[in-house]
Amino acid sequence: MGKAETIKELEQLIVKYQKAYYDGEGIISDAEFDKLWDELKELDPSNPVLQRVGADSGNFAKIKHIMPMGSQEKAANPEQFLAWAEKHKYDKYLVEYKLDGASLELQYENGVFVRAVTRGDGAIGDDITANARKMGGVLPEIRKDGQLVPFTGGIRGEVIMTHEVHRQYFSDKANCRNAANGLMKRKDGNGSEYLKLITYDALSTDGKTFFTNEQEKIKWLIDCGFNVVKLVICMNPERVIAYRAKVMEERKNLEYDIDGLVVKESAINYEDASRNRPDRQIAFKFSLEEAVTTLRKIEWSINGGTYTPVAIFDEVELNGTKVQRASLANPDTMRKLGVQIGSHVVVVKRGEIIPKIESVVEEKGLETKPVEMPCICEVCGTALVDEGSRLYCPNKKCSKRILHQLLKFQQVVDIRDLGETLVTQLFKDKRVQSISDIYSLSVEDLVPYFLNEESIEAEKKSLGAEKVYKSIQSHRRMRLSVFLAGFDIEGFGETLAEKLVQSGYNNLEKMLTATQEQIAGVYGFADIMARTIKEGLDENAEEMRSLVESGVIEIESVGGGALAGLSFCFTGELVTMKRADAEQLVKKAGGSTKSSVTKDLSYLVTNDKESGSSKNVKAAKLGIPVIDEKEFLILVEANEK
């Protein structure tokens, strides 16, 4: 599907779902709707559909708003909010609940209620005055200290249904918002008495001044007897983020639904408020990708010689998946977050498979206790080294480290018939204690592992041993990046190794003699990473040289390659080969592969060019050629000639 077709489809979907939403029968979740909205905004920022708000009804008279009732800028996560806050620096940030109901404007003349207007298209809405008179919180007159207040203008609020009312009378409706939307627009007005208005804005139209800033406005609404939204003051964006996390936990105890916070400045900016989409305030929404929960304990996962903290917390649901654990990466991350046992933490899963803890909710009076750090390797008893970014066992002969390296080598080199179980058993039996030992295995060494107590068909069973032996022997020749990645150096996988190879360290000796400073000078390598890589190369240099110099391993010479300089991203299913095999084909021909579509990608390979997938859409936007599997194979063959 091309860009124009994608935009048209998004327009149709947004209009359809928006109408259903404002008619009180929402079809999809807010998160799903926001994704469609964001996708259209990215493809066509000035699209007219993005300027439309609400839906019209043919059953009511049309009335023009006093205050524009457009849409708000929105942030779906702390990163987006901070990006907005960087451009909007205020002395203090006023933060209100973002009510999940239906917007309504009350219009008053000299303090007397005259009409109520729905949101409609943002400029004109439906006159539902008769229904509004039945709602709680809609005042027939504005009075203060017993005296009529001569206010002429608009009062804006949100019509909501409480959870208790929904449970008792309208449980057949999907949620409180849908029920409220439906009831407030009933022609006969039945059911409006179950609704409640909570206000948060006011605008005088006759020049009289009743308040000079947002705080005074809320106080004035309270003094006049209106229900108002909760307001707090945060002195910086970080406190706003912390407050949001706190509210995410507390909202389940509120009597009505909220779906985020509204953040604004204290000063009243009439020019900004008159826009269809005000710039100086933002809806900081909650997300299905976030949840607040209680940290119960820290487990330490041992990967090779590295100890990684794993948080165990009360189960939460993120994007439809139940989650109870998340990696904390390393001791430094854990310390910076300030996690303790019993802490309330924000868990996120933003487009990632693995959830993580993003922050700690600070609460007074909460009973917590410090996390106990392991000091001794539980395998060999050696004192662990805490470098902050890594907690590890320094003993090169630690059995956990050795086994992990053997398994890593088998996985990276892709010796498929030599599986994890067999490697582990060979290690336990002390037949394989190093990478060199793998290549010294004979068929006779392997035969016992393909026999069992109930079988004496040794000759038949040795076919398995023969297969493994041949598989090992067929994996003696490999690229330098694969060879290096197989040695299980912390953070030094095939992709990073290939970067070093491409930057000029294209043989083993150049790689082993490179200094930490030289490695750090390569784009994408930080100082700490360079140090870890250098230490790992030094530690394994003797065995690396021995394997190559003795001819056990042959490193492929680095040449131009048929696909040199070209990059490929594969998406969807392939017919003639597995995706991993296709990626291997590219790498062997000197090309590179990417897991996502970026502006420097050469080709996106897919057998469904018309798919509306995010990768196809992004490729179309960036003008990246999209080819199918057949075209990919032709390209490979053509470049080989």
Measure the CA–CA gap between 194 and 162, rounded to whole angstroms: 9
List Cβ neighbours of 546 (8 Å cut-off, separation of 6 or more).
436, 552
Rg of the chain over Cα atoms, rounded to whole angstroms, equals: 32
Residue 382 DSSP code: P
Contact between residue 383 and residue 392 where contact means Cβ atoms under 8 Å apart: no
Measure the CA–CA gap between 233 and 240, rounded to whole angstroms: 9
Convert 189-221 into a string of H (helix), E (strand) and C (coil).
CCCHHHCEEEEEEEEECCCCCCCCEHHHHHHHH
Alpha helices per DSSP H over 106-224 = 129-132, 163-169, 176-184, 214-223
In Å, how far are 188, 259, 287, 450, 453 from 26, measured between CA atoms? 22, 15, 18, 60, 64
In Å, how far are 99, 177, 230, 248, 256 from 253, measured between CA atoms? 14, 17, 14, 10, 9
Return the exposure string of 311-332: e unless at least 16 CB atoms fall within 10 Å of the residue's CB, then b. Answer: bebeebebeeeebebbebbbbe
Measure the CA–CA gap between 449 and 159, rounded to whole angstroms: 72
Options 16, 19, 74, 98, the catalytic residue = 98
The tokens of 142 are what?
């504005």
- Concerning whether 264 is annotated as a catalytic residue, the answer is no
In Å, how far are 77, 175, 188, 423, 445 from 420, measured between CA atoms? 40, 50, 71, 5, 17
Measure the CA–CA gap between 313 and 325, rounded to whole angstroms: 6
Contact between residue 605 and residue 571 where contact means Cβ atoms under 8 Å apart: yes
Closest CA to 95 of 267, 262, 284: 262
Measure the CA–CA gap between 389 and 356, rounded to whole angstroms: 16
- The tokens 């909010």 sit on which residue? 81
- Catalytically active residues are 98
